[in-house]
């Protein structure tokens, strides 16, 4: 489990379609083989750690459900180690189980911040609500506006400085995860209906 509070931006050292190697000195120093790390919002298991790098195996299932397949050497990725009992929950509950891939429609400056519009499938939009939470590439964000085709988020200067979201451009794909609590509530309500 994660919080969507990015702890480091790593750099892809290599990706051959199945083994992803990320330069991440801070994260690598605090994790061990077998630990979970959120990489661009995708929960992956560390298979090698050392010398400031982490390696992960990426299986076809993950590639089919996320935007990780588009990664190349020197790309930057948001990283967050798994939450430990007693850690502060600064964002919201994020599982690292990507629900869908969205596409950035527009990026517009608003003073020192950015307003980003993401086109998302109905399977995402149905769980969104204005001022509710959503994870975009592993970053816990607040939905600023939404309609049937997607949603908007307002990115503050701090988020722009410490995540990859400041470099988003129209057409970019992003990993999306809706608030798991919304899915749990839907499931519980559906079970009670005749």
**CATH code, 160:** 2.40.30.20
CB 127 within 8 A of CB 183: yes
pLDDT at 76 > cutoff 80:
yes
121 in the same domain as 170: yes
Predicted pLDDT at 91? 87
Please report whether residue 127 resides in a domain: yes
171 in the same domain as 128: yes
Better-predicted residue by pLDDT, 90 or 147: 147
What's the rounded mean pLDDT across residues 173-186? 91
Strand partners, 39: 42, 79
Q: Which of 145, 151, 131, 168 is nearest to 40 (CA)?
A: 168
Please report whether residue 152 resides in a domain: yes
Average per-residue pLDDT in the chain? Answer: 95
CA-to-CA distance for 161 and 135, rounded, in angstroms?
Answer: 17
For residue 180, give the DSSP letter: H
Choosing from 49, 81, 113, the residue where a domain stops is 81
Choosing from 18, 47, 81, the residue where a domain stops is 81
Q: Say how many C-beta atoms besides its own lie within 10 A of residue 29's C-beta.
A: 10
Task: Return the percent helix, strand and coil in the chain, to nearest 5.
Answer: 20, 40, 35
Predicted pLDDT at 184? 86
175 in the same domain as 137: yes
104 in the same domain as 180: yes
Share of the chain above pLDDT 70, in %: 99
Number of domains in the chain: 2
177 in the same domain as 106: yes
Better-predicted residue by pLDDT, 190 or 25: 25
pTM attached to this predicted model: 0.94
Share of the chain above pLDDT 90, in %: 87
Domain span including residue 130: 100-192
Q: How confident is the model at residue 190 (pLDDT cuts 50, 70, 90)?
A: confident
């Amino acid at each position: 489990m994660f919080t969507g509070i990015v702890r480091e931006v790593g750099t892809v050292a290599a990706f051959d379609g199945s083994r992803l190697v990320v330069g991440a000195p801070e994260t690598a120093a605090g994790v061990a083989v077998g630990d979970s790390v959120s990489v661009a919002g995708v929960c992956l298991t560390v298979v090698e750690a050392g010398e400031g790098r982490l390696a992960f195996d990426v299986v076809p299932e993950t590639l089919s459900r996320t935007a990780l397949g588009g990664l190349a050497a020197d790309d930057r990725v948001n990283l967050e180690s798994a939450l430990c009992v007693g850690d502060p929950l600064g964002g919201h509950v994020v599982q690292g189980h990507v629900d869908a891939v969205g596409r950035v429609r527009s990026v517009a400056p608003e003073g020192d911040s950015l307003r980003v519009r993401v086109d998302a499938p109905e399977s995402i939009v149905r769980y969104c609500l204005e001022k509710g939470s959503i994870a975009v590439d592993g970053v816990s964000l607040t939905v600023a506006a939404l309609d049937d085709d997607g949603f908007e988020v307002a990115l503050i200067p701090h988020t722009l400085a410490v995540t990859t979201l400041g470099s988003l451009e129209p057409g970019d794909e992003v990993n999306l995860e809706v608030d798991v609590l919304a899915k749990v509530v839907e499931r519980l309500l559906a079970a009670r209906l005749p």
